[in-house]
Structures are given as C-alpha cells and as structure tokens.
Amino acid sequence: MEALAIDRLRQLADQGRRTGQLGKAFKTIEVIPGLCDGCGECVNACIQAKGVNRPIQSRIKPLKDLKEPFFAPTICLQCGDPACVPVCPADALNKNPETGVIEWDETKCVNCLLCTLACPYGGIVYDPVDAHVIKCDQCGGDPACVKACKPGALIYRQESEIFNRIGDLEDLFVANSCCQGCNTEILMRHVLRRVGPNTVLAAPPGCVPGVGTVGVNGLTCTKIPSFHPLLTNTAAMLAGAKRYYTRIGRDVTMLALAGDGGAADVGFQSLSGAAERGERMIFVCIDNEGYMNTGTQRSGTTPFGAWTSTTPVGSVLRGKTRDQKYMPLIMVMHKCEYVATASVAFMKDFYDKLDKAIEAEKRGMAYLHVFSPCASGWRFDPSMTIEVQRMAVKTNMFPLWEYNNAEGRIRFTQVIDNPLPLERYLSLVGKFRHLNREEIAHIQKNTTERLDLLKSLSLAPEEKRNVVQEQGPPHERPRSQMPPDQTNP
Amino acid sequence: MVNTKYLIIGSSHAGLSAAEEIRVHDHEGSLVMVTMENTLPYSPTVLPYIVSGKVTADQVVLREEKDFREKKIRFLREKIVTSVDAGTCEASLSDGERIRYEKLLIATGAEPVTPQVDNLHNVPFLELRTMTDALRHREALQKAKRCIVMGTGLVGMHAAENFVQKGLQVQVVRARAKKNPRILPNYFDGECAGIIQDVFESHGVDFHLTNHAVRVTHEKGEILVTLHDGGELRADMLLVCTGMRPRTEFLTTGDVEIDQGILVNSRMKTSVDNIWAAGDVAQGDDFFGSAKILNAILPDAVLQGKISGADMAGGRLDQDYEGGISMNTFNFFGNRAFSVGMHSVREGSDPTSVDKTVLPSARVYQKMIFEGDVLVGVSAINTDLDPGIVMNLIKARAALKDERAELVSNPVHVSRRLMWKLWR
C-alpha cells in the first residue's frame, strides 16, 4: 500500500514538474525591503533592458513619497501557484516549466486586465504608453535590475535547489511503524535515495529495523537487499560481504544504518576494527543519544544531565552523571577516509556529505554521524523534530563539520560564530527540563571545550604553527570563513 | 451507463479549476467532465474578442486533449445534461446515456436572458454566450454596417467597442425602462459611468438610455427597433445582451435548492450532500452581508472551482469561500477602469465616508468608499492603482486609521506598502 502511495506522489510530482506547477525550484528575484533606499537605479536598468522610455513602463516599481521612508519595490514574484494564470481567458499567461518565469503572450492577450485584478502583489500592471500589461521576465535569466542594485536589496537566487537535485531519485524505503515525528524515517529515506539501488544495507538491532527494514510477512520495507546483523558485528559482516562482492567482480556499496548503541557502544569493537583496516563501506550512525528502541536507556552518547529510564530524575538523581562520548572525533582518529557530522535539518549539507561519503567509500571507510532527535524518547512535540536539531546546530551543541583524510583537518560546514544561547536548544527537549543553572553551565562548558578542540583541528598546518608560537587559545583565532547558512528559517 | 467517482458538468473556468484541484488530492479517482460544446474548453470572457477578430478560436483554447489525458480526465463533448437524479446519483444526457456519479459538480455557467420586447422572438437577433454564437457574429459582422446593441452591461459595452473598431455604426438601447439609467450599472456609479459613456460617445456610439425598446421588427434584412417615445432605430444586426441567468433548467426534481442560482455553502456544497456547484451557476455567500448572491465573474469562478474541488476530493484548502465581492476590470478605447467592492455607499452607512478624485477632462476618476476605517469599495478610471492589491486590501478588512488619509492622497504607493505589511 505504502509503495503505491509513494508511486502516486511520484507521478504527481512528475506531472507537476512537466507543467511547472510544482515540484521544481527556480531562480527568482528576491526583494529585501529593509535594504532598498529608493535610488531608482533598478527602474533605469529595467527600462533600458526593455527598450522603453518612461519610468512608468518599468517592470519593477519602488515605492515613492511615503510619510515614513519605505521603498521596497513591487515586482512579479513568478509564483509557484500563480493567481494570474488561471484567470486569463485567452491563455496568454503561462508558467514556463523550464525557467519558472510566468510568460505573457502578446499575440493572445485581449487586454481584459483580469490578471491585474487577480495578482495580490502588483506583479503585473498596465503600461499606458504601450497600452498593454507588462510584467517582469527576469531578462531571460540575467536580470538587469539586480545588477544595478547597489544597496543589495535585490538578489537573484534560487531556494530549494536541493529539490531539483534529488527530486528525481528513487525512494527505496517506506517506513511502516514509526513513532510520530520520527527522524529516522526521514534520514533513512534520504540516505537510500542518494546511495541508490546498488547497495546492501546492514541494520543492527535498533529503531532502523523497527521502523521498516525488518518489515512484515517475510518482506522488508526497503527496495534493496538488507540484513540484520547482531549489535556487535555489523561492520565485520559488511566488511566480509564487501570482500565477497569484490572477489566475484561486483562493485556493490555497503551501507550500515546503526544506532549509537550499534556504533559507539556495543558495536564499537567491530566498527573500530573495520575502520582501522580501511574496510570499504559507508557507516551511518543515527545518534539518538540512547537506546530509544528498547525503552529509553542511557548510552555512551547520552549527554550529561539528560533524563533516561536508567538515569532518572528525582530527589536524589538528576539525570546522566557522565559526559557524552564524542564518537565522530574518535572515528577521525581512526584515519577514516571521510568523517562528518550531519543533520537532516540542513538537507543540502546532508546531501553534500552523502556525495562525499560515496566518493570516499571507493577508497575506505566513510563514517557519518547523524544527529537524530527522538520525539518519543527525548520528550518533545513530534512536530518539533526538525526544529530541535536546527537549534542543536545553531547553539553549537552539535556542530556540523567534515573531515577528509587526505586533507588531514576538519572543516566546519555551518556557521559556528555567534551561536544562539544553549537554552534555546535545551528548553525544547523534555529530557533536559529539570536542569538547573549549574548543570546547564556544565553542558555549556563541555560544548565550548569541544568546539575549541574542533577549531584547533580545523586549522591549516601553517596556522597550527602560529598557534604554537603565540600560545594563544584557539578560540581567539580570527573568525573562520564559513559558507552561509543554507537552510530556510 | 458510465460510472465515475467525480462528474463535472461544464468545462470553463470553474469546472477546469475544480478538476485540477481534485487531481491534487486524488490522483486516481475516475473523473468525467461533460460539456455541451463541441469545442475544447474556452472562456466566455474572450468571446467579444473572437467576434472582433482580435484573437482566433484555436488561439484561446484553455486546455488541450493531452492535458486531459495527462490528468486522467475523461472529457466528453456535446453532452447536454437533461436531468440529475440526486437519489440514484445519476445524470441523464440528451443522447439517452446516463452517468452514475459518486460526487457531482455543477459548473454549467449562465445563459442569456431574452428580454420582454414585443416581437423579439420573430427577429434574427444575436446573443453572445458560446463560441458558436461568437463565430456566427463574426460572419454577420463582415456584411453589417450598422448594429444595435440591446443591453448596457459589460458584454454589451465590450461588443460595442469591438463593433466600432470594426467600422460599424453602433447604437445602444435599453430593453426596459429604468430610473436614472446608466451603463455598467453593476460596477460603477453614475458619475463614473458617465465618464465611460463620454468616451464611447466620442468614438461615435449613440446611446438611447432613457428611451427603451418596445418592439422589434425585421424586413428585407433590416432590423427596426421601435422606442418607447415612438422613435425608430434601424440596423443590419441586433445584439441582445440584457443579462444572464444561471443555467439550472435540468435540475427539475427539486432536490437541489435553487434561488436565483444554486445555493451553496462556504465549501461550495449544495443542499445535497454529494453535489457541489461553482462559477456563474452558484449562489454563494456575500462578502459584505448575510444574503446569498450571484457573483458571476471569472476570478471568482476559478476560486470557487478550487474550493469545491478540494472539498469533493476530501482535501484541505487553507481557505473557505469568504463571500463574493463584486469586481471587474474594463479596458475601453485605450482607457482602463476597474471596480472592486461597493461602487456606492450602501443604505444605512455614513454617506460622508467617501473619498473621491475626479479629473473629467483627463478622464481620471478615483473613488474610495470606507466604512469606519475599513476600505469597502474602489472604482477608478485611468489610475495606476493595482486592482489586485486593492481587492486584497478590501478582503483583509484592515482598519487603516492614520493610514486612511495617506492612502487617499497617495493611493498607489500606500496600497503597495500595505501589501508589503499585510500579506507579502
């Protein structure tokens, strides 16, 4: 049934892509109202680009003569679900499925002006000089107004680029028994999408088999071969399978989806051995900071202070008394080909890392440590799964970085400067609700120390020498050059 | 007997919009769309331009056969529904076929009303509601030199303009007597309509508004309209467009509640649980009051279609029908007018709550009607106001307070700023 539903969704998305109605992201001109100073250069650029004479013929129109200064121009938004297109009685307006631009066909237009009545944004207007409607066509992909905008109030950009990249990939997994708000489901679906059908999946005991790889009536919920090793021997079994396939001349990707128990605790010896031997596989640790599948027991990656069923909170005990084991750095010390921390709240970053892991798997082990909040076990509202991990990253509780063995240093892949206060993350999660100020300060100290360590490991070799000479603490080094935050707010 | 999950009667804006919305929520459910026309879907709004030859019939097709195939819609042409049995859920067609539906949308639109003018039915007059009508007019237009337009609504005015531009001599006459008659009475007040009428007159259109037609005769290819005061008008062609009424004659069993049109709730559902109605045939909520009104205008048909489609397929749309608002745009001889909401202060309201700017010589007119600080109506000629922004401002029912005065003095830019503030 579920597979059928997914097929339907895919059909719908395909159809949408063809008609340009949905399922594809396009570049559009973004207006940032606060930055516009009303200089009017966009208007000059527009009328020049369109070969017309008067400002009233401009497709972009800054506001004028307001009591309180506000200039943000009106311009066609090239809506995904445009109001103007369906009201055109003459089929003169259509959204181009390739460019996303809503195109106006002069030969069909009957000048009824109903489009100007339908558009709530003033995006299509009447030009009294040429006596027809005018609208922005984004200059065929190189908008003149954007180039002319000195204050930077106009940006030609594309949101959701990731969707174009992965929208056509096949879904190889449909969950059948997740809790509400399950992060593992999202994570598995996208990992399998990217890694693709030429894969063998190993899933040790934990939520991964629970939500689908085991399946029902002898069927799994994956469209690829999957098996269920013990908690202890996942990496060893995959290493053996890989060697077998290599011997018979087949290039098949080995993928492990293990929980933190199956990776960092019970499964560690076989993982450590495989990593040190340089076995070729992608090992994904889905870190939900405990044994969520069996009743919310603590694990090595449970953070200090967190409530679990084995670290209860009461009059004497106050959650976990030990600090979290930071598994990804341990894997860096194994000299894996590629190690990264990731989160599905930063989907583009997540897919970039999957790309690199797939590349690194050709040479040795790729280890991805994915932060995976659990609404049931951590006690937060199931609708907040993504927000919880977004906050964990933005407070530096779970910094996103990657390590490439050839480079020998780690790189941060999301902004780590100016983090949000740690409370923004802790307050979202029920397992931290009891924490007092001292306990929060302790977690803050752990977080800062870890970040300092990561920063020192992120330095290029010549920078490291400078640090040694100056003896300065690494966190006072110049701000790292970070790519901008790619997620939607 | 055809069995289908969804049956849509009518293939113009409301029907198409509903079918596409159904497909957003239900990709598989069988969907049959029947139309009485023998053409692919088109918009009645475009017909005056077909007559004038500005566009051709095949240019303005709204959907091709392949669009229907892609969306798995069975599109059946030349099927006139003669009756609907709400009990057995069956629609009967004029060719004897029957269609059993689970859910039915009636989007049959409206048809012209023939006015009570003596002997009119014996005269070969023209109407404009279908593509067949339009193509026939286009032919008639080739030979005609003089034309009489009976009716002063939008269709009549569009036609009059198109005829003038074709070089015809045009006379406009009313079919009924009326106090203080004016053109476009549904959209503009007397002053505004007067400015529009002046433009038409300056292009040679003759209006006989105070003097309605009482008899029409026809001899040797000439049409003779006798006026109330005994005067006579002669022409080669008579276009009658005195109004529309919802096309509901096939609903004879009384299951579906009908007033002027088919009565619907805010999800476009009729009094029968599995029948919906949308577009010109539907009589829905009034944005400004509690009555049920006809609001036969294209953007509303699209919206009503969408709402009914979502409801039929059990989907969720973020909005219910908020009630019809009168609205239209009117482009005439290079001038542009639009009207949204009320064109005159309604009874019981403060008559001073009107802000008006008129420059008759430049044919500029702008009237804003407020109730308290809330904008309830705008009509304008040749201003740069964005009709869509104005409409959403009215829909938002925003209390403007201090901004009211600024809006009146700098309407284009202040309304755009309000757009940024309120919904962009």
Read off the pLDDT of residues A102-115 as tens digits, 9 standing for 90 and up: 999 999 999 999 99
How many structural domains compose chain A?
A: 2
Q: Is A149 found in the same domain as A177?
A: no
Tell me: pLDDT of A262 over 50. yes
Q: Is A175 found in the same domain as A154?
A: no
Report the distance separating Cα A199 and Cα A202, nearest Å: 10
Name the CA dihedral angle for A337, A343, A345, A351, rounded to a multiple of 10 degrees.
20
> Which pLDDT belongs to residue B319?
77
> Which pLDDT belongs to residue A7?
52
Last residue of a domain, one of A158, A189, A217: A158
Question: Which has more confidence, B356 or A334?
Answer: A334
Q: Is A422 found in the same domain as A333?
A: yes
Q: ipTM of this model? A: 0.95
Indicate whether A489 belongs to any domain.
no
Indicate whether A278 belongs to any domain.
yes
Q: What is the pLDDT of residues A391-412, one digit of tens each?
A: 999 999 999 999 999 999 999 9
Percentage of chain A lying above the pLDDT 70 cut: 90
Q: CB distance A110–B24 less than 8 Å?
A: no
> Which pLDDT belongs to residue B414?
96
Q: Would you say B416 and A122 are in contact if contact means Cβ atoms under 8 Å apart?
A: yes
Q: Is A422 found in the same domain as A466?
A: yes
Indicate whether A13 belongs to any domain.
no
Domain boundaries, given as residue ranges, for chain B: 2-111+245-312, 120-242, 334-422
Q: Which bin fits A295, alpha (ψ -120 to 50), beta or left (φ > 0)?
A: left
Q: Is A277 found in the same domain as A384?
A: yes
Q: Would you say B263 and B273 are in contact if contact means Cβ atoms under 8 Å apart?
A: no
Q: Is A214 found in the same domain as A107?
A: no
Q: CATH number for the domain including A150?
A: 3.30.70.20
Q: Which fold has domain B2-111+245-312?
A: FAD/NAD(P)-binding domain (3.50.50)
Lowest mean pLDDT among B6-15, B178-187, B273-282: B178-187
Tell me: pLDDT of A218 over 60. yes
DSSP H stretches of helix in B181-277: 190-202
Mean of pLDDT over chain B: 93
Q: Is A111 found in the same domain as A176?
A: no
Tell me: pLDDT of A482 over 50. no
Which residues of chain A have a CB within 8 Å of the CB of B299?
A: 83, 87, 114, 117-118
The residue segments making up the domain with residue A38 are: 27-158
Mean of pLDDT over chain A: 89
Q: How confident is the model at residue A479 (pLDDT cuts 50, 70, 90)?
A: very low
Q: Is A173 found in the same domain as A151?
A: no
CATH number for the region B334-422 comes to 3.30.390.30
Q: Is A291 found in the same domain as A151?
A: no
Judged by DSSP in three states, B231 sits in coil
Indicate whether A448 belongs to any domain.
yes
Q: How confident is the model at residue A214 (pLDDT cuts 50, 70, 90)?
A: confident
Residues of A with CB under 8 A from a CB of B: 8, 11-12, 15, 18-19, 33, 56, 61, 63-67, 70, 72, 74, 83, 86-87, 89-91, 107-108, 110-114, 116-122, 125-126, 128, 131
Q: CB distance B416–A61 less than 8 Å?
A: yes
Tell me: pLDDT of A156 over 80. yes
DSSP A55: G
Q: What is the pLDDT of residues A400-458, one digit of tens each?
A: 999 999 999 999 999 888 899 999 999 999 999 999 999 999 999 999 999 999 999 99
**Residue B378, φ and ψ in degrees, nearest 5:** -140, 130
CA distances (Å), origin A240, targets A232, A305, A451, B50: 14, 39, 36, 75
Q: How confident is the model at residue B286 (pLDDT cuts 50, 70, 90)?
A: very high
Q: CB distance B60–A108 less than 8 Å?
A: yes
Q: Would you say A367 and A335 are in contact if contact means Cβ atoms under 8 Å apart?
A: no
> Looking at residues B297-314, what average pLDDT do you find?
95
Tell me: pLDDT of A12 over 80. no
Q: CB distance A117–B45 less than 8 Å?
A: no
> Which pLDDT belongs to residue A466?
66
Tell me: pLDDT of A473 over 80. no
Question: Which has more confidence, B107 or A163?
Answer: B107
Pick the CATH number of B120-242 from 3.40.50.2300, 3.40.50.300, 3.50.50.60, 3.30.565.10: 3.50.50.60
> Looking at residues A76-97, what average pLDDT do you find?
94
How many residue pairs bridge chain A and chain B with CB atoms within 8 Å of each other?
A: 128
Q: How confident is the model at residue A9 (pLDDT cuts 50, 70, 90)?
A: low
Q: CB distance A83–B388 less than 8 Å?
A: yes
CA distances (Å), origin A298, targets A157, A256, A295, A306, A371: 44, 22, 10, 9, 16
Sign of CA dihedral B188, B190, B192, B195: positive
Q: Is A174 found in the same domain as A118?
A: no
Of B28, B417, B420, the CB nearest to A8: B28
Tell me: pLDDT of B41 over 70. yes
Q: Is A455 found in the same domain as A339?
A: yes
Name the CA dihedral angle for A408, A410, A413, A419, rounded to a multiple of 10 degrees.
-160
The vertex-B91 CA angle with B90 and B94, nearest 5°, equals: 140
Last residue of a domain, one of A114, A135, A158: A158
Q: How confident is the model at residue B334 (pLDDT cuts 50, 70, 90)?
A: very high
Report the distance separating Cα A25 and Cα A319, nearest Å: 45
- A133 vs chain B: nearest CA distance in angstroms? 11
User: B298 touching A, CB under 8 A?
Assistant: yes
Q: Would you say B74 and B22 are in contact if contact means Cβ atoms under 8 Å apart?
A: no
Q: What is the pLDDT of residues B184-209, one digit of tens each?
A: 999 999 999 999 999 999 999 999 99
DSSP B256: S
Sign of CA dihedral B334, B186, B360, B382: negative
| Alpha-carbon B235 to chain mean position | 27
Q: CATH number for the domain including A232?
A: 3.40.50.970
Q: CB distance A89–B382 less than 8 Å?
A: no
> Which pLDDT belongs to residue A465?
66
Helices A268-277, A234-247: inter-axial angle, 10-degree rounding: 40
Q: What would the DSSP string read from start to end of A330-399?
A: HHHTTT-SEEEEE-TTSHHHHHHHHHHHHHHTTTSEEEEEEE---HHHHT--GGGHHHHHHHHHHTTSS-
> Looking at residues A317-333, what average pLDDT do you find?
96
Q: What is the pLDDT of residues A181-199, one digit of tens each?
A: 999 999 999 999 999 999 9
Judged by DSSP in three states, B16 sits in helix
